[in-house]
């Protein structure tokens, strides 16, 4: 199992012995780590080979300083840099199983690792000047390293996910507690298949729901069977071949907890406990250690002056640049809308932003002019409210471009929670209202997740994770993912 000190998940195993239940998991986790190490090293070596070939090709014939150079020395530098990058990535924890939402924290560590390795490589280009290593080739190699490494890591993740879906290296688990904590835990396990822990059901001492299932996740779209009560805990686990139990009952008394742990120990069941309080949402809690003693503390989102200044400066610079860069595209879309549809080019709608203040959000119109302005958004391209050109605009997210003006005006940010419609925002509960602590964004974690087709208010977990962990680097990661996802349809 992963080192709990490397995670803010709030979960760690009790101190009694090791179970045989996880015998299949360590080898798979080590295999995935070995896969990451291999593709990272090969990506650097391949980047240097391709860079040497490109430099010697006719593509750079007019700008290279030498007519030809032997790529042998360059490949040796690439092999050395590959070993160095693997060591750097290891120090950054990139060969441990990821624990963050959508692996964004791992992506941020990748950026830091790439930046450090790039500085070292550029420094080497001056130190090894006598070997006449072309800096153009070095720059090409550094540029190729990033996409090759990302593609390689995605390949390893896909292979790992495929093995898990086939039951190789996965471990079924049962969650004791069907309350909010248990549902959140089930959702985290489902969204993090790299753990190899597959929830198969709940155990709870409360009254059983009518259909015998417990619903969880955004929109309560997922569900698991309620297997029974704690009185038959060991039997329920053994009868289904489950040897891993998660205790997700924060109000559990110490006596009851000790009794359950004792029964698990006697039955060779590996028991995990979620020891966080039920006094607040899980995102507010983190873990630190004093020696070997874990301490749970409540944290608050950080809105430092420097961070706010950097974010706003970045928003202004990027939105202004994009408005100028895509001014021709605005004109093309406007003319096309006038030719192939009836009604105004822009669609303006009141939305709720930071501090609960309303503003007018702009989009290129993608639905017929007589469509209700505040109805539920289309869930597919076949929605009759959307005209053909509008489907193209929505599929490519080009309908969102006018919101760059909202960003420039300070009503929105490039990255943040999506702005909500007033009639829905008025019904927000206290947890959902935390979305108003920051400016709404054109994109966010929700838009690059698998749950992006659900209503905004049902994806609050993604927004709150962003609010409690926001940084300019996280914004860059989300913007990069958005660029890849925007042509995938919605």
What angle (nearest 5°) sits at the alpha carbon of residue 467, between those of residues 465 and 469? Answer: 65
- Cβ neighbours of residue 284 under 8 Å, at least 6 residues apart? 298, 299, 300, 468
Compute the half-sphere exposure of residue 469: CA atoms within 13 Å on the CB side of its CA.
Answer: 24
Alpha carbons 133 and 70: distance in angstroms, whole number:
9
Alpha carbons 396 and 176: distance in angstroms, whole number:
43
In the chain, the domains with their CATH numbers are 27-165 (no CATH), 170-298 (3.40.50.720), 305-485 (no CATH)
Within a 10 A sphere around the Cβ of 35, how many other Cβ atoms? 18
Compute the half-sphere exposure of residue 344: CA atoms within 13 Å on the CB side of its CA.
Answer: 8
> How much is the pLDDT for 406?
97
Q: What is the pLDDT along the chain (490 residues), one digit of tens a residue?
A: 334 333 333 333 333 333 344 444 456 667 888 899 999 999 999 999 998 888 887 676 666 665 556 778 788 888 999 999 999 999 998 887 655 677 788 889 999 999 999 998 888 777 766 556 777 888 889 999 999 999 999 898 888 878 777 767 778 899 998 888 888 889 888 877 767 788 999 998 888 787 889 998 767 778 899 998 888 888 888 888 888 899 988 777 888 888 888 888 888 888 888 876 555 555 667 777 787 787 777 777 778 888 899 999 999 999 999 999 999 999 999 999 999 888 899 999 999 999 999 999 999 999 988 888 877 777 766 788 888 898 999 888 899 999 999 999 999 999 999 999 999 999 998 888 989 999 999 999 888 877 666 666 566 878 888 998 888 999 999 998 888 776 544 4
Contact, 385 vs 368, CB < 8 A?
Answer: yes
Q: Which residue has the tokens 């209202």?
A: 433
Tell me the pairing of strands 293-298 and 285-290: antiparallel
> How much is the pLDDT for 276?
63
> How much is the pLDDT for 10?
34
Alpha carbons 421 and 162: distance in angstroms, whole number:
39
CA distances from 326 to 1, 322, 341, 396 (A): 49, 6, 22, 15
Alpha carbons 447 and 451: distance in angstroms, whole number:
8
CA distances from 107 to 199, 285, 374 (A): 26, 22, 36
């Amino acid at each position: 199992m992963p080192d709990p000190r490397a995670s803010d998940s709030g979960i760690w195993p009790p101190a009694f012995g090791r179970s045989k239940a996880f015998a299949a998991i360590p080898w798979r986790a080590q295999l995935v780590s070995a896969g990451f190490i291999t593709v990272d090293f090969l990506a650097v070596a391949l980047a240097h080979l391709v860079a040497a070939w490109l430099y010697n090709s006719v593509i750079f014939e007019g700008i290279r300083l030498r007519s030809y150079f032997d790529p042998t020395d360059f490949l040796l530098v690439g092999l050395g840099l590959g070993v160095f990058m693997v060591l750097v990535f290891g120090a950054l924890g990139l060969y441990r199983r990821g624990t963050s939402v959508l692996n964004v924290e791992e992506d941020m560590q990748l950026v830091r690792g790439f930046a450090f390795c790039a500085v070292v490589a550029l420094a080497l280009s001056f130190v090894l000047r006598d070997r006449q290593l072309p800096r153009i080739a070095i720059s090409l190699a550094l540029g190729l390293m990033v996409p090759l490494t990302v593609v390689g890591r995605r390949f390893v993740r896909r292979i790992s996910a495929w093995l898990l879906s086939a039951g190789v290296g996965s471990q079924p688990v049962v969650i004791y507690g069907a309350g909010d904590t248990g549902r959140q835990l089930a959702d985290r396990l489902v969204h993090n298949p790299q753990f190899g822990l597959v929830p198969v059901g709940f155990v709870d001492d409360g009254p059983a729901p009518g259909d015998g299932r417990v619903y969880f996740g955004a929109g309560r779209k997922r569900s698991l069977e309620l297997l029974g009560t704690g009185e038959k805990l060991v039997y329920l686990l053994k009868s289904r071949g489950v040897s891993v139990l998660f205790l997700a009952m924060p109000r559990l008394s110490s006596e009851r907890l000790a009794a359950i742990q004792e029964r698990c120990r006697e039955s060779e069941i590996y028991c995990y406990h979620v020891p966080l309080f039920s006094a607040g949402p899980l995102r507010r809690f983190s873990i630190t250690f004093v020696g070997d003693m874990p301490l749970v503390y409540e944290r608050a989102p950080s809105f430092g002056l420097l961070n706010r200044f950097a974010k706003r400066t970045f928003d202004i610079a990027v939105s202004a640049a994009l408005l100028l860069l895509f001014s021709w595209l605005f004109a093309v879309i406007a003319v096309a809308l006038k030719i192939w549809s009836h009604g105004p080019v822009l669609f303006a709608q009141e939305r709720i932003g930071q501090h609960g203040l309303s503003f007018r959000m702009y989009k290129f119109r993608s639905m017929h002019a007589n469509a209700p302005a505040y109805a539920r958004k289309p869930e597919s391209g076949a929605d009759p409210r959307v005209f053909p050109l509008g489907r193209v605009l929505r599929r490519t997210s080009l309908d969102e471009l006018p919101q760059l003006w909202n960003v420039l005006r300070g009503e929105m940010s490039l990255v943040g929670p999506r702005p909500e419609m007033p009639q829905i925002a008025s019904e927000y509960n206290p947890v959902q209202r935390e979305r108003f602590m920051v400016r709404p964004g054109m994109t966010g974690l929700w838009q690059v997740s698998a749950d992006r087709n659900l209503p905004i208010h049902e994806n609050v977990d993604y927004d709150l994770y962003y609010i409690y962990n926001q940084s300019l680097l996280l914004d860059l990661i989300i913007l990069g993912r958005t660029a890849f996802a925007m042509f995938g349809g919605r």
